[in-house]
Structure 1
Amino acid sequence: MSKTDPRTPNDRLRELIRESDWTYEALARAVNTLGATSGLRLRYDRTTVAHWVRGACPRPPVPELAAEAFSRKLGRTVTVEDTGLAPPGTPGAALPGASDPAASLGELRKAHLDPVLRESMRRTLLAEGWPSTDWADDGGPGGTCLRGPVHLPPTAGPSWRIGASEVDALEAMGRFYHEVWDAFGGGHGTSALAACLADDVAVWLRSPMANGVRTALMSSAAELTLRLALMHFENGHYGFAQRYVGIAAQLARGADDRTMYVTILARAATLALDLGQYRKAAHLADSAQVLLTACAPDTVSFAQGEFAMAYAAVDDVRAAHRCLDATQQNLSRCTTSEWQLAVYHWQRAQVLAFHHRPGKLLPLLRTSLRHVPPTDRRFRAVLMLSTAHAQLRLGRLEEGCATLRRLLTEFSLLRSADMAGGLQELLRQVGAFGRARSAIDLLEQARGLLPQGPAPARPRPYGH
């Protein structure tokens, strides 16, 4: 345990303990419990907390765990900075909850470059870290604390006036990183995209520009930030993904872009769903319904399909089917792409998966596969993984192994910790079939393609 100045008591921590009506022992237990959920074996007690109150500072990720413990107890966001447990100048100490999205982009990048902070934030999810679910209430982590365009404080920026060329550049970057993600998975380009957002986009957002340019710039920045969140999620950096989703929501809200905000809520619901936070996913779905009336049919169809999965996870069958009906109706009102059809059938299949009907979902997965664009290797691999999982659940070993052999060809070109974990788990299931020739051949083909060690706890990779 490193020390701050031992002569300076931590009054902020003492006040939080008093406000929480906790004893030192109760805080220690809460931190130990949160640590266990992140895979850490902590054995703090009241003596340890007494040292903190006197000015000692525990090493990361303990300050983050303490902040999360207070957030859950008090029902509001408590940052590491609020606890007084982070040394001054610690990157990311004030995250999440910063009202300036440009500053947050810089802080998150610094945190990712710091090995200790990167490891602690990678595993630390925050109860209040998801986007605000109330468009009219901008005070949460997903809000900007302002209505309409956000006027960020000026800072040293480019010598030229920001204009349409910067907006065009962001839109081009969005297309580029989308193509990279589709073709090669989330393991490529996260550092470069984070640097672009922190070093360039954040500076642009603080520079003088016309209101229309600022709105367009913030919308494009929101889309890029959401892309980075999805890439981090696929890499297993769930804490970073959650924080970037919150920043994307801030930017979309600042641009008064309801379509982008609904898309972010839909993505956030699916991320929460994939992390097992079913109630949070359904809550995000509930909150987005009122905003859908202002969105185009293609946005509504995608979002309602995501929300259908969230409702299926909490056994709200009526709401799930209502959302799927809305998805189908809105698809009929727009020019439908192959990707949209692939996603629609995937979403229907996932609703059935939550209802434990693997036999019914296989035809939907096959239909989805037929519609996946040739360039979208990543989504195609996810569909193959889901197909093999359903086949193995039904005891169809030969079919499952055939699907996994095709998947291995795609997987060899992808960089995805998420995908690797899902594939590793299915290969473990195949190994249980012992001497079956198809199983032996598949495991031999897979040798050397996957990292060693236990598979992640998440049951399936993130989808589209």
Structure 2
Amino acid sequence: MPRTPNTQLTLLLEAAGWSPAPFTAALRDVAAEQGLTLNVHLTTVRRWLEGAQPRPPLPALILECLSRRLGRCLTAHEAGLTRAPAQLVDPAWEADPLRKLLHLTHAELDPHRRALLGAGVLTATALALPPHGEGPAASGGQKYPGRRTVADDVGQLQAMAQVFATSADQHGGRHVRAGLAAYLAHEVIPLLHRPPPTRVHQGLRSATARLALLLGSMCADSGHHAPARHYHQIAARLAADADDPTILAIALRTIATHAHGLGDHTPAVLNLAERADQYARHAPPAVRAYTHIQLAVLNAHHNRHAAMAALARAERLHAQADAEPGPFSSYPAGALHFQRAQVLATLREPTNALTALTTSLRLRTETERLPAALTRARLAETHLRLGHLEPALAHWAAFLDAYPTLHSARAGQRVTAAVQYLRPHQRRADVADLLERITQVVGPLR
């Protein structure tokens, strides 16, 4: 079949002032930021211009290159990189958040579309925000028949957020992700399209932002980072639309945390954490501690003094916080010390990081099974780096006790890391026994 030339991509390259050679170089640079090595040459780019469709993750990388160069967020349709009749999700901030949420949650419930959602690459342009103080456009879309929404509906959504958050903390996000997506698609979105009083409408949007944040974190915990990014961005838009700076601060902090977890420590991510902290300036102390500790984590990659100052400030704020329960009103002490350990590890203070992780594990509650297990894994890794093999084995053994009840890609990553740490010591009988147990619990790992 003869190919149809991709005139859209050709025009975008012309607008960017790029011939195939500099475009290829820029593409390789963006791939390197993601830890990818591309086998892309001038002939490859020419084939794309002639109409060949690049395979994932190349479309996302191409869009990232061109978006950076042109200073705006491009879609796959604009660049001629998809033959689908309509884009699954519009990544632009300006897109209607409820429409995006509806498409995403329905895709979550369709195994084929859910696989497509998980195929993306997290890119820096997705972190772009509108100018400070610029409000989002009002959402339109489908109207649902039924009674008017009332204040009790907001309370119900907040109660369900607690249920889903507790379940994810106990067993990981993967096993409750579809349930939360179905709840959003079939219960929450219809509420938002019924005529409510203005104040109730704002409360509904704010409560929906909380649920979208939870779903995004469940996707990240499942290893599906592209949909996680979309849900987090939707939450930020809904919080801004609801005039809720506290939830907006939490959403921006979550986006920065997600990017950091994927290895992005750039000034752009630090700037996002700073924006989160600005929005949290009038929030309760627990939320301010939550945003400030992320400033410490990110500053540790850039400025030691700033990192330690932010860490001290976060700890003072946490000491002032009330013990109000709830996933968006409290910040567990175990989480604070876990991130303290992250700061200290980045600053190359492994002994102090070990102390912080030990404190974090001690402070974990019974409902924090997944965080406690991940803390144990980090403790084992830190002990081994310091040459403490026996305590490392003890923590890994306890981690494996919890592992079968966890449905989490993060837990799986820590198992893979354990094998890598232990293989140099596999001639020891106790290490060989633990490696054999890992094989029995998880299956063979490379």
The answer, yes or no, to whether TM exceeds 0.5 is: yes
Partner of 2:98: 102
Partner of 2:126: 129
Return the offset for 1:164: 2.6
Write out aligned runs for 1:38-437 (5 A). Answer: 49=45, 52-53=48-49, 57-58=53-54, 60-92=56-88, 94-109=90-105, 113=110, 115=112, 118-119=115-116, 121-130=118-127, 132=129, 135-138=132-135, 144=136, 146=137, 151-279=138-266, 280-314=268-302, 316-336=303-323, 340-437=332-429
CA contact (8 A) 2:393 2:431 kept: yes
Return the offset for 1:34: 5.1
Letter in 2 for 1:99: A
Q: In terms of mean alpha carbon deviation, does 265-274 or 380-389 score higher?
A: 265-274
Return the offset for 1:414: 0.5
Return the offset for 1:129: 0.7
Return the offset for 1:334: 2.5
CA contact (8 A) 1:34 1:69 kept: yes
Q: Deviations over 1:316-341 (max 9, x none)?
A: 12221222222222223232479622
Quote the Cα distance in structure 1 between the aligned partners of 2:441 and 2:432.
15
CA contact (8 A) 2:93 2:237 kept: no
**Among candidates 415, 437, 440, match of residue 448 of structure 1:** 440
Q: Deviations over 1:121-162 (max 9, x none)?
A: 534112211262854145xxxxx3x4xxxx321413132222
Return the offset for 1:376: 1.0
TM-score by length of 1: 0.85
Q: Sort the Cα spacing of 1:59 and 1:206 in 2 relative to 1 into closer, same or farther, 3 A.
A: farther
CA contact (8 A) 1:61 1:121 kept: no
Quote the Cα distance in structure 2 between the aligned partners of 1:287 and 1:124.
24
CA contact (8 A) 2:177 2:215 kept: yes
CA contact (8 A) 2:153 2:204 kept: yes
Return the offset for 1:447: 2.1
Return the offset for 1:356: 1.7
Q: Sort the Cα spacing of 1:96 and 1:299 in 2 relative to 1 into closer, same or farther, 3 A.
A: same
Q: Deviations over 1:380-423 (max 9, x none)?
A: 11110111111000111111001111111111211111111122
Return the offset for 1:42: 6.0
CA contact (8 A) 2:77 2:87 kept: no
Q: Sort the Cα spacing of 1:26 and 1:195 in 2 relative to 1 into closer, same or farther, 3 A.
A: farther
Quote the Cα distance in structure 2 between the aligned partners of 1:361 and 1:152.
46
Unaligned runs of 5+ in 1: 139-143, 455-464
Partner of 1:459: none
Letter in 2 for 1:343: A
Return the offset for 1:307: 1.7
Q: Sort the Cα spacing of 1:116 and 1:174 in 2 relative to 1 into closer, same or farther, 3 A.
A: closer
Quote the Cα distance in structure 2 between the aligned partners of 1:331 and 1:342.
11
Q: Sort the Cα spacing of 1:49 and 1:203 in 2 relative to 1 into closer, same or farther, 3 A.
A: farther
**Among candidates 8, 13, 17, match of residue 12 of structure 1:** 8
Quote the Cα distance in structure 2 between the aligned partners of 1:250 and 1:387.
37
Return the offset for 1:273: 1.4
Q: Helix, strand or coil: the match of 1:412? A: helix
Quote the Cα distance in structure 2 between the aligned partners of 1:52 and 1:130.
27
Q: Sort the Cα spacing of 1:443 and 1:348 in 2 relative to 1 into closer, same or farther, 3 A.
A: same
Q: Sort the Cα spacing of 1:116 and 1:218 in 2 relative to 1 into closer, same or farther, 3 A.
A: closer
CA contact (8 A) 1:12 1:82 kept: yes
Quote the Cα distance in structure 1 between the aligned partners of 2:437 and 2:40.
47
Quote the Cα distance in structure 2 between the aligned partners of 1:108 and 1:29.
33
CA contact (8 A) 2:295 2:310 kept: yes
Quote the Cα distance in structure 1 between the aligned partners of 2:364 and 2:102.
36
Q: Helix, strand or coil: the match of 1:236? A: coil
Letter in 1 for 2:412: A
Unaligned runs of 5+ in 2: 325-329
Q: Sort the Cα spacing of 1:356 and 1:102 in 2 relative to 1 into closer, same or farther, 3 A.
A: same
Quote the Cα distance in structure 2 between the aligned partners of 1:52 and 1:40.
20
Q: Sort the Cα spacing of 1:289 and 1:400 in 2 relative to 1 into closer, same or farther, 3 A.
A: same
Q: Deviations over 1:350-369 (max 9, x none)?
A: 11111122211222222221
CA contact (8 A) 1:339 1:372 kept: no
Q: Sort the Cα spacing of 1:27 and 1:387 in 2 relative to 1 into closer, same or farther, 3 A.
A: same
TM-score by length of 2: 0.88
Partner of 2:327: none
Q: Sort the Cα spacing of 1:64 and 1:206 in 2 relative to 1 into closer, same or farther, 3 A.
A: farther
The count of aligned residue pairs is 439
Return the offset for 1:301: 1.2
Q: Deviations over 1:427-460 (max 9, x none)?
A: 3212211322321222222223225455xxxxxx
Q: Deviations over 1:154-211 (max 9, x none)?
A: 4131322222343233212211110111110122121232233234433332332111
Q: Sort the Cα spacing of 1:182 and 1:86 in 2 relative to 1 into closer, same or farther, 3 A.
A: same
Letter in 2 for 1:245: H
Percent of aligned pairs sharing the same letter: 29
